[in-house]
C-alpha cells in the first residue's frame, strides 16, 4: 500500500539526532509497527545507515522492549495461532569479513505461551528458554533486511559470538545436558 504522511514534523531523531524528519504511517503494517520516521520525500532514512548505527538502534529497541515488557509474537507453523516470547538477553556482533553489511543477533527467549489454534507447543513449556540466532544484512540498494533464512558465518565468528554471549549473560550454562546425543563421527 505504501506510506501516508502524518502531519507532525519532528525536529530530530531521538536516537541519532538527524534533523527534519517526519512521521509516516504504513498502511497494512503489522500491529504495533505502523509508524516510521522518514525524510520529507518518504525515504526510510534509517534503513540506509551503517551497521554500527543500526546495531545501536537495535540495542535501544531491545532495551525499550524489555522496559515495556513487550512480548515477541511469532505465527505458528500452520499460520493459525501465535506463540509469545519475552526477549531476556541478547548479543549483537558484526560479521568479521562483512562488518559494514551484516551482523548477528543471538537472543535468549522465554516462552510465554500460545493463543489460537497451534500445531506445536501450546502452553506446554511455558517459562522454558530458547535461543534464536538471527542476522541483519544490507541489500544492494543500501537498505537493511532481517535475515529470514539459515545464517552462514565464519567459524571464528561463531566462536567469538558464543564467547561474547556467555560473557554478556545471554547464554546461561545451567549444567544440564541432553540425555541423548547423536554422533556423526
Q: Which three cell numbers stand for residue 107?
A: 537472543
Q: Do residues 144 and 82 lie in contact, with contact meaning Cβ atoms separated by under 8 Å? A: no
Q: Which of these ranges, 4-8, 67-71, 181-185, has the smallest mean pLDDT? A: 181-185
Q: The cell 540495542 sits on which residue? A: 59
Kindly report, residue by residue over 117-150, the tens digit of the pLDDT: 888 766 678 888 888 899 999 887 777 888 877 7
Whole-prediction pTM value? 0.66
State pLDDT tens for residues 151-179: 888 888 889 999 999 999 898 876 555 44
Amino acid at each position: 500500500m505504501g506510506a501516508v504522511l502524518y502531519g507532525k514534523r519532528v525536529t530530530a531523531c531521538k536516537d541519532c539526532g538527524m534533523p527534519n524528519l517526519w512521521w509516516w504511517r504504513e498502511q497494512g503494517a503489522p500491529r504495533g509497527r505502523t509508524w516510521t520516521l522518514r525524510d520529507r520525500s518518504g525515504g526510510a532514512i534509517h534503513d540506509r545507515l551503517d551497521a554500527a548505527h543500526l546495531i545501536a538502534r537495535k540495542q535501544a529497541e531491545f532495551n525499550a522492549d524489555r522496559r515495556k515488557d513487550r512480548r515477541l509474537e511469532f505465527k505458528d507453523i500452520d499460520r493459525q495461532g501465535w506463540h509469545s516470547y519475552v526477549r531476556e538477553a541478547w548479543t549483537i556482533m558484526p560479521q568479521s569479513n562483512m562488518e559494514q553489511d551484516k551482523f548477528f543477533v543471538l537472543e535468549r527467549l522465554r516462552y510465554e505461551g500460545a493463543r489460537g489454534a497451534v500445531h506445536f507447543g501450546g502452553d506446554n513449556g511455558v517459562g522454558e528458554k530458547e535461543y534464536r540466532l538471527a542476522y541483519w544484512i544490507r541489500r544492494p540498494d543500501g537498505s537493511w533486511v532481517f535475515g529470514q533464512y539459515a545464517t552462514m558465518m565464519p567459524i571464528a565468528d561463531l566462536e567469538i559470538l558464543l564467547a561474547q554471549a556467555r560473557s554478556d549473560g545471554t547464554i546461561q550454562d545451567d549444567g544440564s545436558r541432553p540425555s541423548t546425543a547423536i554422533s556423526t563421527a
